[in-house]
Structure 1
Amino acid sequence: MTTTLTPDLAAQFARIALGHVTREYPHKLDHVLNGPEDARTPSQLHPIFHGSFDWHSCVHGYWMLLTLRRLYPDAPFAEEVVALADRMLTEDKVGAELAYLDREYSGGFERPYGWAWLLALHGEAARHQDRDWGANLEPLAREFAARFKLFLPKQGYPIRTGTHYNTAFALVLAHGWAMEHDADLTGLIAERAGFYYGMDKDCQAWEPGGDEFLSSAMIEALIMRIVLGKPDFAGWYSGFLPRIDIGDPPSLFTPAAPSDRSDGKIAHLDGCNLARAWCWRGIADALPEDLQGIADDLAERHIAASLPHVQGDYMGEHWLASFAVLALTAGAAEDQGR
């Protein structure tokens, strides 16, 4: 039986996010002080994205809320999401978030994880054509798209660690946005993904690290599934993970086991399980038939390991539900991030 998003889970996730996207403290800033005048509170610096412990988690908290509103427009929580988004995703507040990016030393702000999630948020907001959210967020999305276009050609090597700096994850979300909004960025992402990963062979999948919330092996496979399409991906994948049929590498078959979910870094491992499930589901249709069942089973095992822990301690609660939604709504790879 395939575990999917249900109305009850959607309501649970919405309640979680509604409780934290405007919760200002505790907060971990990505902020360079150029002088004493820059010592300001999170909400003064970021009038929209000051909740959820950090900027990027707040961004994908809003992405999840808008996604759930689209999927369940008649749910009781949907009206609360609309009221919140109408209050927060305004032209003036987006303008203040955009102005923050003009500060000196802001070039590396939230690169690339937050960039990619902001594009995903705008892509989702644009689907809600009865509201102004997409139009209001578009200038901010265009700025981050421009930063991708400037940065990717000079990034000589992919970052493979399974944390916020991972290149493949950012490319997946950015590609989903670009397919609808920026043909030039779509082409650039395909070119860079091929450059970074096209020659990779016999992945050992030495993962996860102790604080990783992404599977470096599987997120690479997902971006290649997206940019190559089914026929070419099959050939690439047969060289990248050639022994999946015999359970090798074993690390990809074994869900991560967080030892302390109150530790923010160790709690990342629940995200790794959900992200692996998302990736397995995203590539399954392009695998040989004998491997598709393996992929489906692995997704289920990883979801089962961490779905019960989305709520509990704030160190996981402020972000994990977004990754659960990715896993539980995963479908065709071409739709990832959209």
Structure 2
Amino acid sequence: MFYVGCVVIVVFLLYTIRRKRLAQQVSPLGKYVLITGCDSGFGHHLAQRLDERGCNVIATCLLERGCGATELKRVSSGRMHVLCLDVTSDNSVGQCLEHVKRVVGEAGLWALVNNAGTMPLGDIEFYSMDDFKHTAEVNMFGMVRMTKSFLPLIRKCQGRIVNVTSVQGLVCTKHCAAYHASKFAGEAFSDSLRMEMARFGIKVSIIEPGNYGGGTGMLGNIEGHRKNYERMWREASDDVRQMYGRQYLEDCHTKLTAAARLGRTDLTPVLDGMEDAVLAATPRHRYLIDGGNGLFDIYCVLARLKPYIPTTLYDYIAREYL
């Protein structure tokens, strides 16, 4: 019993030391942080939060004169720079890089937060090839393009890269194949990047929000999704129209409206995780963050159980309840 007690004490002490180490933060003062996708949602609110913490935030928005960019300019401190950026454009990313070089100087870039994303909904037979390509360009190749461009600045101060994927980069549902494919790719890219960057002291973290669609505009833009369904119907082949029928897309829109209400609207848990990934002395590799407005987030529950349950059972749950 004496030896068992000693082992328990040692384990407890090691656990306590590790918790204190994980809880430590680096000073935000003088740190430059570049965030993509600040027009709305996570990126918009993270830019404000890190600005309040004392970071030098470079907030990039797709729409230079959009509501998001205008609001950030209005409420931010003099430390924040709001830039126009299209992560799908080599030219736009190159211009952003040159601007950031002038801003950060020899300090380098402490963190790059790849947050920009898009989420078209639809069945595979209704998606066009352009839907798949554009989703990949924003969610996956945009992440790659930004990372490759800004790595030299990040290497200067042994900073970190924070890639925002999704729980839907871990589990699949119906009606969302283009988004899933891009987010699974983001997961794979981030894992390879983390292993390669370890030799340079650069830390790579993945943010995996659960069901927050109703609070970010991903699902909350109901009218935008309706227009997308109407466009898909117009572009669909006669065979697809006959097989599915117009009512199918109407039912999809009704279900989408209901699903948006189930998404958590309080973004605080995700912002906490993103801030930790940027400023923690020892950030986690992954932040799977439960959302939903019920007792649990079924998406995150499935993500944790997926390796241990039969595919047939997983498919049934995903098909019937997601």
Work out which of the two has the higher radius of gyration on C-alpha atoms and give 1 or 2: 2
Give the alignment's TM-score, normalised by structure 1: 0.29
TM-score for the superposition, normalised by structure 2: 0.30
